[in-house]
Amino acid sequence: MADEALVRPRLKLSYLIVLTLILVGVAPLFFYGTRVISLNRDALRTKEREFQTATTRSLADEVGLYYQMGGVALQHLAAAVVVLTNGDLSGMRVNLPEVRGLLQQALSTAPGLLYISIINNQTQGVTASRLPGIDPFLGRAMERAYLVSRTGQSTYVPVEIASGDHKMTVMLRSLPLQAGGTVIGVILQVESFAPVQARLDEMAGTGLESYVVDQQGKLIAAGSANGKDGAILGQDLSRLEIVRRLLSWHGNPLASETTSYTQQGAHGAIAMLATYSAIPDLHWAVVAQRPERLAFASAQQLVREGYLLMLAILIISVELGVLFSARLTKPLQMLRDQAQALARREFVGRVAVKSKTEIGDLAQNFNRMAEEIERYVNDLKIAAAKNRELFLGSIRLLAQAVDMKDPYTRGHSDRVTRYAVAIARRLNLPEEEIENVRIAAQLHDVGKIGIDDRILKKPGALSNEEYLIMKQHTIKGANIVRQVEALHDTIPGIELHHEAVNGSGYPYGLRDEQIPLVAKIIAVADTFDAMTTERPYQQAFDIEKVVGIITGASGVRYSPAVVEAFVAAVEAGEIRIQRQALAAK
């Protein structure tokens, strides 16, 4: 009858799922909406890139035009001076009223002109100026420009000068005055860079980090939103990826380039949109960048609003779907909870689901599976416990076989094991590590199987050669245990329990930090048992004396932490002397 009930026709779960999907039906809408949002977002991002490129290109063209116009005006002035003075500026001729008139006229007709002077080869000159005085930095720059132009070359360099409580950048231009191929003097001209600075500030107001840099990536001017007062003329901006990209063209960059990259900021990596536009005549460039979250804010807003609309539709659809799927989700949740309980090895729970769908069959089969797993796990636990006892018993038998070779060490491995475990527990080691200490201590002298009985049972002190052979028992023991994969974690305790923290132990002379904790624990336990048992060459010491000896060797032979745990175990009565009965000789 039970089997007939299992095959009785039930409602198909697939019908409920299909019904829910039909009612929800948001997949096509979501796909279409995502596609539309993606297309519009890409279009807005492209427009933003084009806008940033156009903005920097416009300023680059403006700087180039500013440079060209100033240069043409200065060349016209130079030609007029040469004609007016008939190519002779020596002596006081440089100070002719006509020359002064030309300078004053040039200064009055060019609003951006701050200073102009003509200096002859005897460093005599005439000046027209709107500047209240010559800034020391500007004065030194003029001296350098004069010397350069005396060789027949022109210069155009930025100079930072004081302007009230602030600093401003001006452009110093020099042009050699030539007559008949001979330099007869130099024109020095200081031009305001305020129009360019104003455009940089305007760009900075839109969130752009804007700069003008020279052919070496050094700062000429910066937008005020970038901390203009903190920007330093000549500052190396090659730390910016866009500037490094500009310099990678080695003086022949593209006219403009816009790219995206990641820049490390104070709060982590920041995605940046950056552009440079070259100024060919000067080999300069206008550089601008800003975080993509600002550059593409309109695109991100479109994405947010689009997804919010789809989310609203999704929520409404899900609410409708929930009304029809509640009966489906509740039993599934119960099955999920019980499956998680099985994963936690909790086998007592069962699923109480009454349903005419496949869920009912699944619940019954799940309960049967849980019962079978519970029985199987219990059987495994019993078998594992038997295997562990067999494993530990084999280890004890092996250790006893070693101890039986010498009547004076009978029971030594068992006692060392008890002492080592007591110390390990005082050190608050996890149970897994304590178990490793237990097995390693039980087998710590297993290598003595390979030592000749004449040496092992010698009643007196060992010779140097015999002692060297005896010391090999640690390595022999490790080699024996190494063949058993399940015992690999015990190898350090077996091989290194005769090492000393000061490096005087064997077999390798390791020091404190190089010796594993398990070996340090067994070293103390082994010493304690050796000193508290009768040996052919030694009377057993009382426990107080042994504790004193071990404590005195703390930090020299033994680990201070292990010695402290050992003393605590002795004081608590967890380590006690158990005298062994000597075998008859």
Contact residues for 138 (Cβ-Cβ < 8 A; gap 6+): 159, 161, 170, 172, 190
Q: Mean pLDDT throughout 366-371?
A: 70
If you average pLDDT over residues 344-367, what whole number do you get? 65
Q: What is the dihedral of CA 145, 148, 150, 154, to 10 degrees?
A: -80
pLDDT score recorded for residue 350: 67
pLDDT tens per residue across span 81-108: 999 889 888 888 888 999 999 999 999 9
Query: How far is residue 309's CA from residue 26's CA, in Å, rounded to a whole number?
Result: 12
At 448, is the pLDDT very low, low, confident or very high (cuts 50, 70, 90)?
A: confident
Ranges of each domain in the chain: 42-297, 404-571
pLDDT at 335: 66
Residues 7-36: tens digit of each pLDDT: 454 555 545 655 665 566 666 666 666 766
Distance between CA atoms of 242 and 53, rounded to whole angstroms? Answer: 13
Strand-pair partners of 188? 117, 174
pLDDT per position as a tens digit, 281-304: 999 999 998 888 876 667 667 667
pLDDT confidence band for 527 (50 / 70 / 90): very high
pLDDT value at 194 more than 80: yes
Which range (25-39, 154-168, 413-427, 478-492) has the least confidence? Answer: 25-39
Identify the top-confidence range among 239-253, 307-321, 326-340, 543-557: 543-557
pLDDT-derived band at 380 (thresholds 50, 70, 90) equals confident
Per-residue pLDDT for 312 more than 80?
no
- Do the beta carbons of residue 272 and residue 294 sit within 8 Å? no
- For the four alpha carbons of 122, 128, 133 and 137, in that order, the dihedral sign comes to negative
Interacting residues of 91 by C-beta distance below 8 A, sequence separation 6+: 120, 122, 124
Judge if 42-297 and 404-571 fold alike in CATH terms. no
| Structure confidence at residue 585 (pLDDT) | 34
Q: How far apart are CA 460 and CA 456, in angstroms?
A: 10
Per-residue tokens: 471: 């010391």
pLDDT of residue 581: 38
CA distances, 396 to each of 254, 393, 441, 445, 475 (Å): 82, 5, 10, 12, 20
Question: Secondary structure of 92-158 in the HEC alphabet?
Answer: HHHHCHHHHHHHHHHHHHCCCEEEEEEEECCCCEEEEECCCCCCHHHHHHHHHHHHHHHCCCCEEEE
pLDDT, average across residues 232-250: 89
Q: What is the pLDDT at residue 189?
A: 95
489-498: average pLDDT: 91
Residue 4 pLDDT = 43
One-letter amino acid for residue 363 of the chain: A
Q: Is 9 helix (H, G, I), strand (E, B) or coil?
A: coil
Starting at the edge strand that comes first in sequence, how are the strands of the sheet with 268-279 ordered? 219-222, 209-213, 284-291, 268-279, 256-265
Query: What is the model's pLDDT at position 344?
Result: 67
Give me the mean pLDDT over the 559-574 stretch: 94
- Predicted pLDDT of residue 332: 62
Least confident residue range of 209-213, 378-382, 422-426, 579-583: 579-583
170 pLDDT above the threshold of 70: yes
The average pLDDT across 48-71 equals 90
The answer to whether 489 and 508 have CB atoms below 8 angstroms apart is no
Helices (H), 248-357: 292-295, 297-343
Q: CATH number of the domain at 404-571, please?
A: 1.10.3210.10
Q: What's the confidence (pLDDT) of residue 230?
A: 59
Share of the chain above pLDDT 70, in %: 74
Work out the average pLDDT over 327-351.
Answer: 65
Q: Closest Cα to residue 419, out of 521, 518, 515?
A: 521
Comparing 12 with 346, which gets the higher pLDDT?
Answer: 346
Q: Once rounded to an integer, what is the mean pLDDT over residues 456-478?
A: 83
pLDDT: is 382 or 428 the higher one? 428
- Reported as type and span, the H/E element at residue 256 is strand 256-265
Beta-bridge mates of residue 554: 558
Instruction: Indicate if the pLDDT at residue 323 is higher than 90.
Output: no
Residue with tokens 């116009």: 69
pLDDT tens per residue, range 137-148? 899 999 999 999
Q: How many CA atoms lie within 13 A of 215 on its CB side?
A: 11
Q: Residue 45: is its pLDDT beyond 70?
A: yes
> At residue 2, does pLDDT exceed 60?
no
Q: Label residue 516 by pLDDT band (50, 70, 90).
A: very high
Q: Cβ-count burial of 427 within 10 angstroms (0-12 exposed, 13-18 middle, 19+ buried)?
A: buried
Would you say how long the chain is, in residues?
Answer: 585
Question: Which has more pLDDT, 471 or 313?
Answer: 471
What is the structure's pLDDT at 146? 94
Alpha helices in 356-463 (DSSP H): 358-403, 412-426, 431-442, 453-456
Rounded average pLDDT over 164-170: 81
Q: What integer is the mean pLDDT of 221-245?
A: 78
pLDDT for the residue 419: 95
pLDDT of residue 454: 80
Is the pLDDT reported for residue 212 higher than 70?
Answer: yes
In the prediction, which pLDDT does 526 show?
Answer: 92
Task: Kindly report whether the peptide bond that precedes residue 280 is cis, defined as omega within 30 degrees of 0.
Answer: no
Tell me the percentage of the chain whose pLDDT exceeds 90. 34
228 pLDDT band, cuts 50/70/90, is very low
Which H helix or E strand runs over 259? strand 256-265
Instruction: Give the model's confidence band at 270: pLDDT under 50 very low, under 70 low, under 90 confident, else very high.
Output: confident
Q: DSSP character for 90?
A: T
pLDDT bracket for residue 227 (50, 70, 90): very low
The dihedral over CA atoms of 310, 316, 319, 320, expressed in degrees to the nearest 10, equals -120
Q: Which pLDDT score is estimated for 292? A: 80
* 11 contact partners, CB below 8 Å, separation of at least 6: 356, 357
Task: Identify whether the C-beta of residue 191 lies closer than 8 Å to the C-beta of residue 47.
Answer: no
Q: Find tokens 């608590």 and name the residue.
A: 572
DSSP type of residue 177: E
- On average, the pLDDT of the chain sits at 81
Q: Which fold has domain 42-297?
A: Beta-Lactamase (3.30.450)
Between 545 and 355, the more confident residue is 545
Structure tokens at 308: 């919010």
Whether 1 has a pLDDT exceeding 50, the answer reads: no
Task: Give the mean model confidence (pLDDT) for residues 215-239.
Answer: 79
